[in-house]
Amino acid sequence: MAAEPRDQATSPAAAAAAGRSVAVRAHELAPSIGDLAANLRMIEEAIHAAVKDGVQLLVLPELATSGYYLRPDEAERCALAADDPTFGQWASLLDPGMVLVLGFCERGEHSLFNSAAVMTHAGVISVYRKTHLWDEEQSLFEPGSAPPPVVQTPLGPLGVLICYDLEFPEMPRSLALGGAEIIAVPTNWPLVPRPAGEHAPEVVQAMAAARASCVAIVCCDRGGTERGRTWTQGTAATGCDGWPAGATDAAGRLDTVITVPAERTRIGPRNDTLSDRRPALYSPRLQANPHT
């Protein structure tokens, strides 16, 4: 007997009847390179707007506090410690039960990091330091040494990645195995060529990762241009079934509702996308590195 088609098994109607929903906004801001004060004002305005609109999960771009193509002096000037009072001020603006994820230039004890903070009304509940640094980031930042977290939030278990991290399939899969139901991904995606009518390649990767592990993924890209570089503006929210949900409006906001099915990883009468794994057959191969 043929199994029930996967998309039918996780249809919006079925999911709504047996799961929970989260009102999500990914807001494509356009930070001013090296202008900390202006960027902090912009972020605060985005928080106020999200609270007013009843958003439950607000995701803002990578390095929203500083801009991306930074000179060393600009990075130093814009760096914030994880316990900076600014984060407490932003947390105090959030509604109880609301979650904010945003990228920032973090000042560590001896180095700078490309980091993401997770906040609730109670304050910062997690900081993740990007582990896979892209191109010029390697001249400014130290890569994080801790795995990406699964954070217990009022909206359920939330995973966090930053931009290039998503291009390593092990990263979203590890978060799904750790119990994450939604993964928030602050990003800065430089525009690259693609065939007419196609999704940005990073969005394709998010869709594939979401479908492979039955985990929702919310990617917040950025807008504007910076030192001659153009951004993809590929902000995307992908449901647990791997399909995009919603579209970015003229103000750079993607508002949608993500539904997390009660049996999220169940994709058919006899199949589960995580428990059907057979890691004994492929783990040794995954651990091998032919490039060393």
Structural domains of the chain, ranges and CATH numbers in brackets: 19-287 (3.60.110.10)
141-145, Cβ contacts within 8 angstroms, sequence gap of 24 or more:
141/111, 141/112, 141/113, 141/114, 142/108, 142/111, 142/112, 142/113, 144/113, 144/115
pLDDT at 25: 98
Q: What is the pLDDT of residue 9?
A: 45
**Residue pLDDT, tens place only, 181-217:** 999 999 999 999 999 999 999 999 999 999 999 999 9
What pTM did the predictor assign?
0.91
Kindly report, residue by residue over 227-253, the tens digit of the pLDDT.
999 999 999 999 999 999 999 999 999
> Mean pLDDT score of the chain, rounded to an integer?
92
Reported as a pLDDT band with limits 50, 70 and 90, residue 282 is confident
Which residues, other chains included, contact 150 with Cβ-Cβ below 8 Å and sequence gap of 6+?
157, 158, 159, 175, 178, 179, 180
Residues marked active site are found at 62, 130, 163
